[in-house]
């Protein structure tokens, strides 16, 4: 504990966010005891209460947040919630443990690995199934890399930066978890391929994807792809001791700060699946701030703290607790319907209504950012820019 109580401040904020999202969104799966799943929208309609709307990737990030909360408190009840979420995901997912989208499959693998380590669950068949599917998704098209969806070129798929960065991070863990040292080389190869094929030499950012032929590279970038690359590089640096991975992580952190923030706050990407992006980036920047040294680590911590502070300060107060917005530099509305024109203009093209605030993905992203700040505070990473000015919860 520090003298000004900052670790407790961020832990308190994370707890408030947790209570709000768990209370609004977590429900049993079809009345099955011992299960939980996140309703994908609030306020819900009947289909949401019955979990008729299925977003595998959202549940992966919700599971990650539940693990964050359990690590923050070392609480038996929170660990039980993690186990219930794992059971709920398995019960609801129509394809067993896997998904046709490989980016969300890799993210689920990462969340399940953390859940298993936290709760001492036995080695999971889920990780074996996920690893097998992702190993098969690597081909030599476009020089290497993993397809974004099952079926590859047969369904017109691309090879995306997010899936390959998440693949690399997961396979560093799998090398230890399942004992296949070839998985570590797969992780290396994925990051090398990303750096060769999708890294923009001018900005240092990854492009979103490359076509099957390798001829068409997307000009779009997103925060989660960069954050996942940072996470993959930090994992590789720890596993191999090779300095090049830390250097790549540092360059990517600088690129994020230069190109993907507004006033130091990670920019949002709207709702639906994109609602997760800023939170995913914040999670892995926090990991880098703890693992690395020097200016890049401080930059990563500053982005996390400013992003979490922006999400918290711009939350809407609604029944049950805070409601986060899709853009953390703009006040959340906390109601359905059109936004005032002045506020809509501030959203930088994200949209003119508040429906995205109802998406579980957007709420998870805000919760993730606040948990990331709480994690930094627990590890003694200072929040100097805010300590003098910020008071209260």
| 3-state SS track over 248-295 | HHHHHHHHHHHHCEECCEECCCCCHHHHHHHHHHHHHHHHHHHHCCCH
Kindly tell me the sign of the dihedral angle through the C-alpha atoms of 70, 71, 72, 73: positive
175 has pLDDT over 60: yes
Q: Stretch 165-180: mean pLDDT, rounded?
A: 94
Q: 209 forms bridges with which residues in the sheet?
A: 160
Q: pLDDT confidence of 25, banded at 50, 70, 90? A: very high
Which range is least confidently modeled, 78-92, 214-228, 235-249?
214-228
Collapsing DSSP to helix, strand or coil, 321 comes out as strand
Phi-psi region of 198 (alpha: psi -120 to 50; beta: other; left: phi over 0): alpha
- As a whole number, the mean pLDDT across the chain is 91
Confidence of residue 177 (pLDDT cuts 50, 70, 90): confident
Query: pLDDT tens for residues 273-288?
Result: 999 999 999 999 999 9
- Burial pattern 217-240, b for ≥16 Cβ within 10 A else e, equals bbeebbbbbbbbbbbbbbbbbebe
pLDDT at 2 over 60: no
pLDDT at 342 > cutoff 80: no
How confident is the model over 345-374, as a mean pLDDT?
A: 78
pLDDT at 98 over 90: yes
Residue 216 has pLDDT above 80, yes or no: yes
**What pLDDT, on a 0 to 100 scale, did the predictor assign at position 388?**
39
CA 86 – CA 116 distance, rounded (Å): 10
**Angle (deg, nearest 10), helices 56-73 and 277-291:** 40
Which one-letter DSSP state was computed for residue 141?
G
The whole-number pLDDT of residue 339 equals 47
Q: What percent of the chain has pLDDT over 70?
A: 91
Asked if 275 and 365 count as a contact pair (C-beta separation under 8 A), the reply is: yes
pLDDT value at residue 385: 57
Write out the H or E segment, with its range, that includes residue 13: helix 6-25
User: Is the CB of residue 53 less than 8 Å from the CB of residue 61?
Assistant: no
pLDDT value at position 348? Answer: 44
pLDDT digit string, tens, across residues 226-269: 999 999 999 999 999 999 999 999 999 999 999 999 999 999 98
pLDDT the model gives residue 347: 45
Distance CA 382, CA 290 (A): 11
| Whole-number CA gyration radius for the chain | 20
How many angstroms separate the Cα of 66 from the Cα of each of 27, 78, 122, 316?
14, 7, 19, 22
pLDDT score, position 355: 65
Residues 6+ apart with CB under 8 A from 317: 323, 334
Question: pLDDT tens digits for 203-214?
Answer: 999 999 999 888
Q: Is the pLDDT of residue 351 over 50?
A: no
How far is residue 212 CA from its own chain's centroid?
26
* Region 43-72 average pLDDT: 95
Average pLDDT over residues 132-159: 92
Secondary structure letter of residue 143 according to DSSP = G
How does pLDDT run across 286-315, given as a tens digit for each residue?
A: 999 999 999 999 999 999 999 999 999 999
Q: What is the pLDDT of residue 45?
A: 87
Name the burial class of residue 100, with classes exposed (0-12), middle (13-18) and buried (19+) by CB atoms within 10 angstroms of its CB. Answer: middle
pLDDT of 391 higher than 70: no
Instruction: Over range 10-16, report the average pLDDT.
Output: 98
Q: What's the rounded Cα separation, in Å, for the pair 337 and 354?
A: 6
Q: Is the pLDDT of residue 387 over 70?
A: no
pLDDT higher than threshold 70 for residue 353: no
User: Residue 111 and residue 373: Cα distance in Å, rounded?
Assistant: 19
Q: What is the pLDDT of residue 319?
A: 84
User: Residues 229, 187: contact at Cβ < 8 Å?
Assistant: no
Residues 249/236, Cβ–Cβ less than 8 Å = no
Query: How many C-beta neighbours within 10 Å does residue 212 have?
Result: 17
pLDDT of residue 392 exceeding 50, the answer is no
* Omega before 43 within 30 of 0, i.e. cis: yes
Provide the pLDDT confidence category of residue 3 given band limits of 50, 70 and 90.
very low
Give the model's pLDDT for residue 350.
40
Mean of the pLDDT values across residues 342-348?
A: 48
Q: Which of 346, 356, 332, 315 is nearest to 20 (CA)?
A: 315
pLDDT the model gives residue 318? 86
As a whole number, mean pLDDT of residues 40-52 equals: 91
């Amino acid at each position: 504990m520090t003298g000004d109580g900052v670790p407790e401040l961020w832990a308190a904020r994370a707890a408030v966010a947790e209570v709000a999202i768990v209370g609004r969104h977590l429900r049993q799966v079809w009345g099955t005891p011992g299960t939980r799943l996140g309703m994908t929208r609030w306020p819900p309609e009947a289909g949401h209460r019955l979990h008729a709307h299925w977003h595998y990737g959202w549940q992966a990030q919700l599971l990650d947040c539940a693990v964050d909360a359990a690590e923050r408190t070392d609480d038996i009840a929170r660990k039980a919630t993690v186990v219930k979420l794992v059971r709920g995901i398995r019960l609801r997912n129509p394809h067993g443990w896997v998904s046709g989208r490989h980016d969300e499959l890799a993210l689920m693998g990462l969340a399940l690995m953390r859940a298993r380590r936290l709760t001492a669950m036995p080695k999971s068949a889920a990780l074996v199934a996920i690893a097998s599917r992702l190993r098969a998704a690597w081909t030599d098209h476009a020089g290497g890399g993993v397809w974004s969806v099952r079926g590859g070129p047969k369904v017109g798929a691309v090879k995306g930066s997010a899936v390959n960065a998440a693949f690399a991070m997961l396979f560093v863990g799998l090398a230890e978890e399942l004992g296949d040292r070839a998985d570590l080389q797969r992780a290396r190869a994925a990051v090398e391929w990303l750096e060769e094929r999708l890294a923009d030499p001018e900005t240092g950012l990854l492009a979103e994807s490359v076509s099957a032929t390798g001829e068409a590279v997307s000009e779009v970038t997103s925060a989660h792809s960069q954050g996942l690359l940072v996470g993959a590089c930090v994992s590789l640096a720890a596993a191999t001791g090779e300095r090049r991975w830390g250097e790549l992580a540092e360059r990517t952190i600088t690129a994020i700060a230069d190109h993907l923030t507004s006033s130091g706050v990670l920019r949002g990407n709207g709702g639906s699946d994109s609602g997760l992006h800023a939170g995913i980036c914040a999670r892995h920047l926090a990991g880098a701030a703890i693992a690395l040294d020097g200016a890049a680590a401080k930059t990563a911590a500053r982005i996390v703290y400013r992003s979490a502070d922006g999400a918290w300060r711009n939350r809407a107060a609604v029944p049950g607790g805070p409601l986060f917005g899709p853009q953390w530099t703009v006040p959340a509305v906390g109601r359905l319907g059109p936004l005032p024109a002045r506020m809509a203009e501030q959203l930088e093209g994200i949209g003119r209504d508040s429906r995205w605030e109802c998406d579980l993905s957007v709420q998870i992203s805000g919760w993730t950012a606040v948990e990331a700040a709480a994690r930094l505070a627990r590890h003694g990473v200072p929040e100097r820019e805010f300590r003098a000015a910020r008071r209260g919860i």
